[in-house]
A and B are shown apart, each in its own frame.
Chain A
């Protein structure tokens, strides 16, 4: 029998409904798991996503034809039933459940089993026959600390910088990680200072109804002295850019799951690294795969080969799938921005 979801050269394709999930080439109808750029791309005639993704998608893709669903809400197309379920990755991120003639598939998109519930809905374990899982951090060395522990460390770091009159720069992906940091550090400062890319996303999410601590956009007129002892959140691309040069004295830190590895920490050449990810860690991935009860597993973007082999050894029909979501196993240049 043909697969309910095919891995075509345009994206994940559901033939009986003629719908794609996170396509990377222009198609007619696309369901988007979340608003990160490698999953939510230009050029689709019709988009469908979770309602919390709408504002950010419009911010990034412009005037698109977009319909939205709530979590748990479903629709049927040519006998195929589609519904969205919380993925815990970023605000509005969803797993896509696809049911047809008694067979259930779930495309996990990017997911995190332990999210900050102030930012996004808790991850839902959706039973299915076939699960499509990401594998960004699918190696047993990736184990996350409790977020409280990480935030305590960031607070101490900030206190030290403040005492030394330094600006605390935290580099984090502008959609998802930045908001998680603001929620986790709320109370630590009256107001956050943000790079324009982060500020725009914050505004879009606030309009969507997300309750975020206040932030001020850094502009040409911002004086370095205004930021002394403050926390600045900026995207990773700001590290080492001309934008950051005039803000001195400063202390820089990366906030990313990749900071778990000493090599990536050192290569980044920042003063500090804090391990906080919007992806599931090794245990989180395993728990998710197990809880779906799936017999068949497709592994996308990340350590695909290793993770598929791990589950084959444990009796699942597990295969590695090539997608366009990121370069390749751990090509951090792209990956780490979202991690």
Chain B
């Protein structure tokens, strides 16, 4: 753990990309193969299930520190990070011990099935052996909240320097959440056997938001336009007589969507299709909110399957006859995709239509209208573009319809976490229903650090009541809130639910009574339908 903790501390201490990549390289150069594979898995967000629930952990930490639980909780609210709170509160160790990351990870995998007493004994023993930095990392592994700003991309760069293998090849080898318990560094990275990896997906190519004037892209004839579908990204693989469906989160979700059963007989062998898993009925997409009911469900019931049927809206092809097509131009891939989907003739595989246009001006009204078709806007793709890895500028643009906006009054504020611990950074916003303010959205992004400090000061000076980490405040500050979608919801007091709300700006120029009404927001739903 000392070795891995040192890496963590180095990564944590700098925001400079080159220094972080160098820290990763140095670590990989000296780490054991089993530590390397676990490190890759952890940085890819692939970790074992939580072996211990956090309530137990809090209790054990408080007991070890001889503190009442309420004091632990109060402290946690201030620190804003459970793993950190526990590592700082537990008495300093006397025993010195070092175990490898992979040993600890294997212990954590086994711990899950142990009795509560055994769990407690194990955790407190490890706590007493580690110093506070090691304890922090250990707690992060325990609580599962392991994020330290190391993206897949960064890991791949460090790994590329270490192995000499190019980044694209490595990105592909890391796809599909490899399990450190069943694979090795040798098998996964150094000399992979492709037959063993029939289900392995390609890294997704992600579009960049188009912020400049669309005319600046150049000649319209060089580009292709489609709607931006409002579902979840999916990659369908037909290999070895089976189909596999992957989500963008690299989760294998084949079993969640029984609609696609049987496609293995219709699709030719060795085909990989990129598209959108979309709720779709009677020839039209359904609200994203409907799809959400399916996303989390491991097995959908009959009623739900009928209410929210799903298709794959296909827009690219990455493999044909077992051959990687990603370096072919988009126009070539698109032709092939059209042929495959048409030949397949399945009501589950739809072709995302190309929107014909001769001048950019023709696209503008389509984008403005995109929401009425339950799409998010338009996608603009270069005819000659190859299929890249990750989010890259230049050839794939998403041109989203403008978000909805509403002016709302802040009524609650909550302390943030991590970098924002101890700052009131999460807010609840309300709109008017008669003379009452009804909460309708929570948002915690969109402000600059300076603005956040300003709001923090306002919250501290205008507190009405405190409830744990939450404060109610004088309803005086007005904010413009942007959001992507709005649907009726009987789970919310306001009767509406908005999607991806964020703060657009502070409206110092507006009085609270000038904020929007609930009536106006409900009207948006009517207009949309």
Interface residues of A, Cβ cutoff 8 Å to B: 139-141, 143, 260-264, 266-267, 269, 271-272, 303, 306, 309-310, 313, 327-333
| Nearest 8 pairs of A and B residues by beta carbon | A263-B421, A141-B88, A328-B460, A266-B419, A139-B75, A306-B74, A330-B422, A140-B89
Which of A139, A263, A272, A333 lies in contact with B80, CB distance below 8 A? Answer: A263
Binding stretch for chain A, among B64-72, B167-175, B324-332, B514-522: B64-72
Distance between Cα atoms of A140 and B88 in the complex (Å): 8
Which of A303, A306, A333 lies in contact with B453, CB distance below 8 A? Answer: A333
Query: Nearest CB to that of B91 among chain A residues?
Result: A143
Q: Tell me the residues in window 424-483 of chain B with beta carbons closer than 8 Å to chain A beta carbons.
A: 449, 453, 456-457, 460
Question: B13, A271: Cβ atoms under 8 Å?
Answer: yes
Question: A264, B71: Cβ atoms under 8 Å?
Answer: no
Q: Which residues on the A side are within 8 Å of B166 (C-beta)?
A: none
Distance between Cα atoms of A74 and B128 in the complex (Å): 49
Question: B74, A263: Cβ atoms under 8 Å?
Answer: no
Q: Which residues on the A side are within 8 Å of B15 (C-beta)?
A: 269
Q: Tell me the residues in window 66-114 of chain B with beta carbons closer than 8 Å to chain A beta carbons.
A: 67-68, 70-72, 74-75, 78-81, 84-85, 88-89, 92
Beyond A263-B79, A328-B460, is A140–B71 a contact (Cβ under 8 Å)? yes
Chain B residues with a Cβ closer than 8 Å to the other chain, count: 34
Beyond A143-B88, A263-B421, is A306–B81 a contact (Cβ under 8 Å)? no
Question: A140, B67: Cβ atoms under 8 Å?
Answer: yes
Q: Is B12 an interface residue (CB 8 A)?
A: yes
Query: Nearest CB to that of B88 among chain A residues?
Result: A141
Q: Which residues on the B side are within 8 Å of A141 (C-beta)?
A: 75, 78-79, 85, 88-89
Query: Nearest CB to that of B456 among chain A residues?
Result: A331
Distance between Cα atoms of A333 and B74 in the complex (Å): 21
Which of B14, B136, B419, B460 lies in contact with A263, CB distance below 8 A? Answer: B419
Question: B422, A262: Cβ atoms under 8 Å?
Answer: no
Question: A263, B71: Cβ atoms under 8 Å?
Answer: no
Q: Which residues on the B side are within 8 Å of A332 (C-beta)?
A: 422
Beyond A139-B78, A330-B78, A333-B453, is A267–B420 a contact (Cβ under 8 Å)? yes
Q: Is B418 an interface residue (CB 8 A)?
A: yes
Q: Which residues on the A side are within 8 Å of B88 (C-beta)?
A: 141, 143, 260
Distance between Cα atoms of A190 and B127 in the complex (Å): 43
A-B contacts, 20 listed (Cβ < 8 Å): A139-B74, A140-B65, A140-B72, A141-B88, A143-B92, A261-B79, A262-B81, A262-B136, A263-B80, A263-B81, A263-B417, A263-B418, A264-B421, A264-B422, A267-B419, A303-B78, A309-B70, A313-B68, A329-B78, A333-B453
Query: Nearest CB to that of B74 among chain A residues?
Result: A306
Interface residues of B, Cβ cutoff 8 Å to A: 12-15, 65, 67-68, 70-72, 74-75, 78-81, 84-85, 88-89, 92, 136, 417-423, 449, 453, 456-457, 460
Q: Which residues on the B side are within 8 Å of A313 (C-beta)?
A: 68
Query: Nearest CB to that of B65 among chain A residues?
Result: A140
Question: A140, B79: Cβ atoms under 8 Å?
Answer: no
Beyond A310-B71, A330-B78, A331-B460, is A262–B65 a contact (Cβ under 8 Å)? no
> Shortest distance in angstroms between A104's beta carbon and chain B's nearest beta carbon?
29
Query: Nearest CB to that of A260 among chain B residues?
Result: B88
Distance between Cα atoms of A139 and B79 in the complex (Å): 10
Question: B12, A262: Cβ atoms under 8 Å?
Answer: yes
Q: Which residues on the A side are within 8 Å of B67 (C-beta)?
A: 140
Distance between Cα atoms of A267 and B14 in the complex (Å): 12
Distance between Cα atoms of A169 and B399 in the complex (Å): 45
Q: Which residues on the A side are within 8 Å of B92 (C-beta)?
A: 143
Q: Which residues on the A side are within 8 Å of B136 (C-beta)?
A: 262
Distance between Cα atoms of A313 and B423 in the complex (Å): 28
> Shortest distance in angstroms between A336's beta carbon and chain B's nearest beta carbon?
10
Distance between Cα atoms of A143 and B89 in the complex (Å): 9
Q: Which residues on the A side are within 8 Å of B423 (C-beta)?
A: 267
Among A271, A331, A333, the most chain B Cβ lie within 10 Å of the Cβ of A331
Question: A271, B14: Cβ atoms under 8 Å?
Answer: yes
> Shortest distance in angstroms between B63's beta carbon and chain A's nearest beta carbon?
13
Question: B85, A263: Cβ atoms under 8 Å?
Answer: no
Distance between Cα atoms of A263 and B425 in the complex (Å): 13
> Shortest distance in angstroms between A322's beta carbon and chain B's nearest beta carbon?
12
Query: Nearest CB to that of A327 among chain B residues?
Result: B460
Q: Which residues on the A side are within 8 Å of B65 (C-beta)?
A: 140
Q: Which residues on the B side are within 8 Å of A143 (C-beta)?
A: 88, 92
> Shortest distance in angstroms between B71's beta carbon and chain A's nearest beta carbon?
6
Q: Which residues on the B side are within 8 Å of A262 (C-beta)?
A: 12, 81, 84, 136, 418, 421
Supply 5 further A-B pairs (C-beta < 8 A) apart from A262-B81, A267-B423: A139-B75, A139-B78, A140-B65, A143-B88, A310-B71
Distance between Cα atoms of A260 and B421 in the complex (Å): 13
Q: Which residues on the B side are within 8 Å of A264 (C-beta)?
A: 421-422
Q: Which residues on the B side are within 8 Å of A267 (C-beta)?
A: 419-420, 423, 449
Q: Which residues on the A side are within 8 Å of B422 (C-beta)?
A: 261, 263-264, 330, 332
Distance between Cα atoms of A309 and B68 in the complex (Å): 11
Among B136, B417, B422, B453, the most chain A Cβ lie within 10 Å of the Cβ of B422
Q: Which residues on the B side are within 8 Å of A271 (C-beta)?
A: 13-14
Distance between Cα atoms of A206 and B423 in the complex (Å): 39
Query: Nearest CB to that of B416 among chain A residues?
Result: A263
> Shortest distance in angstroms between B94's beta carbon and chain A's nearest beta carbon?
15
Which of A140, A266, A327, A331 lies in contact with B75, CB distance below 8 A? Answer: A140
> Shortest distance in angstroms between B227's beta carbon and chain A's nearest beta carbon?
40
Question: A272, B13: Cβ atoms under 8 Å?
Answer: yes
Distance between Cα atoms of A328 and B417 in the complex (Å): 19
Q: Which residues on the A side are within 8 Å of B70 (C-beta)?
A: 309
> Shortest distance in angstroms between B292's beta carbon and chain A's nearest beta carbon?
32
Distance between Cα atoms of A309 and B80 in the complex (Å): 20
Query: Nearest CB to that of A142 among chain B residues?
Result: B88
Distance between Cα atoms of A330 and B424 in the complex (Å): 11
Question: B71, A306: Cβ atoms under 8 Å?
Answer: yes
Distance between Cα atoms of A328 and B460 in the complex (Å): 7
> Shortest distance in angstroms between B321's beta carbon and chain A's nearest beta carbon?
50
> Shortest distance in angstroms between A79's beta carbon and chain B's nearest beta carbon?
40
Distance between Cα atoms of A150 and B422 in the complex (Å): 24
Query: Nearest CB to that of B86 among chain A residues?
Result: A141
Q: Which residues on the A side are within 8 Å of B14 (C-beta)?
A: 271
Query: Nearest CB to that of B68 among chain A residues?
Result: A313
Query: Nearest CB to that of B418 among chain A residues?
Result: A263
Q: Which residues on the B side are within 8 Å of A139 (C-beta)?
A: 74-75, 78
Distance between Cα atoms of A266 and B355 in the complex (Å): 47
Beyond A313-B68, A327-B460, A328-B460, is A263–B420 a contact (Cβ under 8 Å)? yes
Distance between Cα atoms of A271 and B16 in the complex (Å): 10
Question: B418, A266: Cβ atoms under 8 Å?
Answer: yes
> Shortest distance in angstroms between A283's beta carbon and chain B's nearest beta carbon?
11
Query: Nearest CB to that of B149 among chain A residues?
Result: A266
> Shortest distance in angstroms between B93's beta carbon and chain A's nearest beta carbon?
13
Distance between Cα atoms of A327 and B74 in the complex (Å): 19
Query: Nearest CB to that of B460 among chain A residues?
Result: A328
Q: Which residues on the A side are within 8 Å of B85 (C-beta)?
A: 141
Distance between Cα atoms of A335 and B460 in the complex (Å): 14
Q: Which residues on the A side are within 8 Å of B71 (C-beta)?
A: 140, 306, 309-310
Distance between Cα atoms of A169 and B165 in the complex (Å): 40
Query: Nearest CB to that of B80 among chain A residues?
Result: A263
Q: Which residues on the A side are within 8 Å of B78 (C-beta)?
A: 139, 141, 303, 329-330
Among A263, A267, A329, the most chain B Cβ lie within 10 Å of the Cβ of A263
Distance between Cα atoms of A309 and B74 in the complex (Å): 11
